[in-house]
């Protein structure tokens, strides 16, 4: 016997809400540049410090930044090579080469 009560999750008279792609993809996007194909993700902050390859300075814990890795790697090993960048350093990487240690 069917229930007489309708679902309250989305009432039948309500309008459809469009999908938020940033939220659905976790903020990941693909970027194509002269240095290759990249998967880029915005990160609000974390409890760890990272060293930015663009300026060789510390990305402080809790600081919003960018995590990037090559998308053209085979079998997912490119995810192991992901790097944490300051957002401004990531944007300027075409004008400035990454530092070497």
Specify the pLDDT at position 72. Answer: 75
Nearest to 81 by CA among 98, 64, 96: 98
**DSSP character string of 5-19:** SPPSSS-TTSPPPPP
Residue spans of the domains in the chain: they are 25-92
pTM higher than 0.85, yes or no?
no
Name the stretches of the chain with pLDDT < 70.
1-8, 10-13, 73-79, 97-101
Per DSSP, helices labelled H in 11-91 are: 21-25, 77-80, 87-91
Specify the pLDDT at position 14. Answer: 74
Specify the pLDDT at position 71. Answer: 84
Specify the pLDDT at position 61. Answer: 94
Per DSSP, helices labelled H in the chain are: 21-25, 77-80, 87-91
Inter-residue contact 18 to 48 (CB < 8 Å): no
Specify the pLDDT at position 36. Answer: 83
């Amino acid at each position: 016997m069917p229930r007489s009560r309708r679902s309250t999750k989305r009432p039948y008279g309500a309008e459809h809400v469009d999908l938020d792609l940033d939220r659905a993809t976790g903020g990941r996007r693909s970027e194509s540049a002269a240095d290759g194909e990249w998967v880029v993700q915005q990160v609000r902050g974390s409890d760890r410090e990272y060293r930015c390859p663009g300026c060789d300075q510390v990305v402080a814990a809790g600081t919003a930044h960018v995590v990037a890795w090559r998308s053209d790697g085979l079998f997912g090993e490119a995810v192991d090579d992901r790097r944490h960048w300051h957002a401004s350093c990531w944007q300027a990487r075409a004008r400035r080469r990454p530092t070497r240690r």
